[in-house]
Amino acid sequence: MSGKRRPLPDVEDEIVLERGVGPGAVVEKSDAPTAPTAPTAADTAGVEIVGRVVKSPVALDIPTAPQFELASPDASRDAQLVHYENLIGGAKEAVETGARALDRYWTLTAGRALVEIRDGKLYELYGYTSFMDYVAQRWGMVRQHAYKLMRTVRVQQALPEVTVDWTVRQVDLLGSVAEPHDSAGDEAAGDKAIREVWAKAEELGDTSAKGLDAARKAVGGEAPKALEAVKERKPVLPVYQRAVKPFQDFRRLRQVAIENPEYAVELIKTLEAALNELRAESPTP
Amino acid sequence: MPVTTFANHKGGVGKSNEVEGVAAELAMRGRRVLAVDLDPQGNLSRRMGYQEHELETRPTIAEAVRDHTPKALRASFLPCQWEQDWAENITLVPSRIELEERISEAGVPLSWQRLHKCLAPLAGDFDDVLIDTPPTIGHLLHLALVASDYVVGATTPTYDSVRGIYRLKNFIENEDQRAGLGLRCRMIGVVINMKRAGVANHDQRTEALITRFGDLVWPPHLPLRASVEDASERAEPPQNAGPEVQQIFRDRVDRYMKAVA
């Protein structure tokens, strides 16, 4: 659907509207026509379907013009190499800094907005019956990505100076550390608990999910209920080890696409979703 | 300004999708299209940009049929909310569930002429009028048929859907029905949707339709594609599913134009 909605025409006369069916039906009247006014720019352009666009995002220190300069022709070959390598190093750092800033901007803007839409069930206003359907169809996000985004909000709020590619397990674990405090309405204590575990993990030299879990134990934090529950379940690894074998026979796999192209498309989608889920839960290489 | 009804007694066969695709292709050719949603489910209205709650305080086809005046129908006109390329030539008459109430008025003498009475004086404002119908052979379909010049059957290549098309054709061609309702419409096409490659049943039903309807079956058949469903979910025309679907609707509209010329 178009990002701009076309303005709706006024209904010239009041029209009796029957709303609902059966014994519960009621009779109403259509909206009265609005008084004519001079058209505004918004009238011409239509109005935004969804909330306001953020016009001025946070100031990001991103270079807008190339900063390339030729080395001095009089410089030695060694000096020329140093000059060009400095340019590459500087550009790489600028890109990485910008990417981290944009990632943080994205999480704390879109992630927080998604939390509000989910908690307030605002997606129902557009006729979606589930939040999952809303994020998938309105924003083209896979479920796992949306949930990771929302979970990362809490951690980034507590650790604004930390810029890493968070995994789902990392943010789940840190979020669970803050959860008892957040539930009690004491977000400051939740922030403190997250920072404490993170600092301990850095001190121990391992900030992976496994390292964070060790740090949590070291500072005496409670075990996350979700992770404990997973550990108590029956192992599923043998099931997947058996299931993966047919996928390693590429010749037969290609035959699937020839036998039933529609099913092959569905299979690709299923495997892509599984891949995303697996990547999200795996330790960062 | 031909008025064309898209119908099948069976549901879920792609009637609304066909109306969307034909409307979009006609609009792209610069023709002014009026898309009438005569299904109380309001699926066409939703796909052209209007959720049911957005129509709460606006007149719809239910009020237009009840009042059966051109003025009432015109009051329900809404702009299609697709991207500009597709939508600028399309006007929608939306529907809501209250249209179901009109069915209970089917016994009123000449009630089947009510859509025709409000549509005929306005049809000249458009190059094409397309009516999407609910899966019924009852009163709501009668309203559409009485107002129409042409009928296009939409079906999937499955037993029940094909039976639905047979019943539709028999109904339209039945002399008693034609005389009783005052029908002037005739069937100009059958489109086959959601056809799966390599499925024997689908091939057999397709052959059966071609045997029964001959040239009335419009090639090419629309294959089952997740991307078409995705476009529908996103309230976009089926053409947004890609070049293959765009070409199919170009070919189908060529057939439509030839039939209504």
pLDDT tens column, A88-100 = 988 888 888 788 7
pLDDT tens digits, one per residue of B232-260: 888 889 998 889 999 999 999 999 999 99
Q: Tell me the pLDDT band of A40, cut-offs 50, 70 and 90.
A: very low
The contacts of residue B227 (CB under 8 Å, 6+ apart) are B241, B242, B245
Q: Which CATH architecture has domain B3-260?
A: 3-Layer(aba) Sandwich (3.40)
The reply to whether A134 falls in a domain is yes
B122 touches A: beta carbon within 8 Å: no
Q: What is the pLDDT of residue A31?
A: 66
Please tell me the distance from the alpha carbon of residue B124 to that of residue B70, in angstroms, as a whole number.
Answer: 12
Please determine, for residue A214, whether its predicted confidence score (pLDDT) is greater than 80.
yes
| For residues A41-48, average pLDDT | 40
B166 touches A: beta carbon within 8 Å: no
A188 touches B: beta carbon within 8 Å: no
Q: What is the pLDDT of residue A45?
A: 42
Please determine, for residue A22, whether its predicted confidence score (pLDDT) is greater than 80.
no
Structural domain boundaries enclosing A156: 72-160
| For residues A277-285, average pLDDT | 62
Please determine, for residue B38, whether its predicted confidence score (pLDDT) is greater than 80.
yes
Residue of B46, B56, B81, B194 to mutate, testing the A interface (most A Cβ within 10 Å of its Cβ): B81
| For residues B43-59, average pLDDT | 91
Which residue in B51, B78, B197 is closest to A8 by CB distance? B78
Longest dimension (CA), chain A: 93
Question: Are the beta carbons of A259 and B198 separated by less than 8 Å?
Answer: yes
Q: Tell me the pLDDT band of A126, cut-offs 50, 70 and 90.
A: confident
The reply to whether A130 falls in a domain is yes
A258 touches B: beta carbon within 8 Å: no
Least confident of A218-232, B31-45, B217-231: A218-232
Q: A10 or A282: which carries more pLDDT confidence?
A: A10
| For residues B145-170, average pLDDT | 94
Q: What is the pLDDT of residue A106?
A: 86
Please determine, for residue A200, whether its predicted confidence score (pLDDT) is greater than 50.
yes
Residues in chain B within 8 Å Cβ distance of A18: 62-63, 66, 98, 101
Q: What is the pLDDT of residue A221?
A: 67
Q: Tell me the pLDDT band of A33, cut-offs 50, 70 and 90.
A: low
The reply to whether A141 falls in a domain is yes
Q: What is the pLDDT of residue A207?
A: 87
The reply to whether A98 falls in a domain is yes
- Residue ranges per structural domain of chain B: 3-260
Please determine, for residue A133, whether its predicted confidence score (pLDDT) is greater than 50.
yes
Domain total in chain A: 1
The reply to whether A29 falls in a domain is no
Share of chain A above pLDDT 70, in %: 79
Encode chain A in three state secondary structure.
Answer: CCCEECCCCCCCCCCEEEECCHHHCEEEECCCCCCCCCCCHHHHHCEECCCCCCCCCCCCCCCCCCCCCCCCCCCCHHHHHHHHHHHHHHHHHHHHHHHHHHHHHHHHHHHHHHHHHHHCCHHHHHCCCCHHHHHHHHHCCCHHHHHHHHHHHHHHHHCCCCCCCCCHHHHHHHHHHHHHHHHCCCHHHHHHHHHHHHHHHHHHCCCCHHHHHHHHHHCCCCCCHHHHHHHHCCCCHHHHHHHCHHHHCHHHHHHHHHHCHHHHHHHHHHHHHHHHHHHHHCCCC
Report the amino acid identity of residue A140.
Answer: G
Annotate A48-85 with b (16+ C-beta within 10 A) or e (fewer): eeeeeeeeeeeeeeeeeeeeeeebeeeeeeeeeeeeee
| For residues A55-76, average pLDDT | 68
A69 touches B: beta carbon within 8 Å: no
Strand partners, B189: B152
Q: Which phi and psi angles does A27 have, rounded to 5°?
A: -110, 130
Q: What is the pLDDT of residue B151?
A: 97
The reply to whether A45 falls in a domain is no
Q: What is the pLDDT of residue B135?
A: 94
pLDDT tens digits, one per residue of A140-155: 888 778 888 888 888 8
Q: What is the pLDDT of residue B91?
A: 95
The reply to whether A114 falls in a domain is yes
Mean per-residue pLDDT of chain B: 92
Please determine, for residue A43, whether its predicted confidence score (pLDDT) is greater than 50.
no
Mean per-residue pLDDT of chain A: 77
pLDDT tens digits, one per residue of A222-277: 665 555 555 556 777 888 888 888 888 888 888 888 888 888 888 888 888 788 77
Please determine, for residue A42, whether its predicted confidence score (pLDDT) is greater than 50.
no
| For residues B139-166, average pLDDT | 95
Q: What is the pLDDT of residue A232?
A: 59
Please determine, for residue B172, whether its predicted confidence score (pLDDT) is greater than 90.
yes
Please determine, for residue A41, whether its predicted confidence score (pLDDT) is greater than 70.
no
Q: Tell me the pLDDT band of B120, cut-offs 50, 70 and 90.
A: very high
**Cis peptide bond prior to A57, omega within 30° of 0:** no
Question: Are the beta carbons of B52 and A13 separated by less than 8 Å?
Answer: no
Q: What is the pLDDT of residue A52?
A: 27
